[in-house]
Amino acid sequence: MLDGELHLGPEVYFEDPSMDGTVPAALLASLDRCDPMYMDTFCGSVVLTGAMAKLPGLKRRLVKEVVLARPELLGQLFVDVPDASDMQPYWGACTYAKYAADDEWTQQEHGHATTIL
């Protein structure tokens, strides 16, 4: 019978938020590099992807750990865990960007969506 062992695997993502290699540390490092002008946008646009992103409570735990480290982010940090199908346009854009020259990117607004050409 498994007791606490069930949660030991995912716990490596949260061992110590100040320790390099944890998910909260990676998010905090990104925040530190973010231009303060765009901090609100960045905090409202965090996306978790991958097989482990769907672990029950992962999103809530990430927000909790980051807010404990930076209390000023309380109420500002929004983390999304989209379905795989919701990520298809993103993956397509990433694949295109990998092979496109910088001067090929153009953005057009269409109603509620942005199209990357």
- The predicted model gives 33-48 an average pLDDT of 88
Q: Region 39-45: what's the mean pLDDT?
A: 88
Let me know the angle formed at the C-alpha of 39 by 33 and 41, rounded to the nearest 5 degrees: 125
Query: pTM of the prediction?
Result: 0.62
Same domain, 73 and 60: yes
- How far from the centroid of its chain's Cα atoms is residue 34's Cα? 14
Compute the distance between CA of residue 92 and CA of residue 74 in angstroms, rounded to an integer. 33
Name the strand (E) or helix (H) holding 10. helix 8-11
pLDDT given for residue 47 in this prediction: 86
What confidence score (pLDDT) does residue 104 get?
54
pLDDT bucket at 16, cuts 50 / 70 / 90:
low
Task: Dump pLDDT digits (tens) for 54-102.
Answer: 888 888 989 999 999 999 999 999 988 877 666 667 767 777 777 766 5
Instruction: Name the residue range of residue 47's domain.
Output: 1-82
CATH number at residue 33: 3.30.420.40
Instruction: State the total domains in the chain.
Output: 2
Whole-number average pLDDT of the chain: 76
DSSP secondary structure letter of residue 22: S
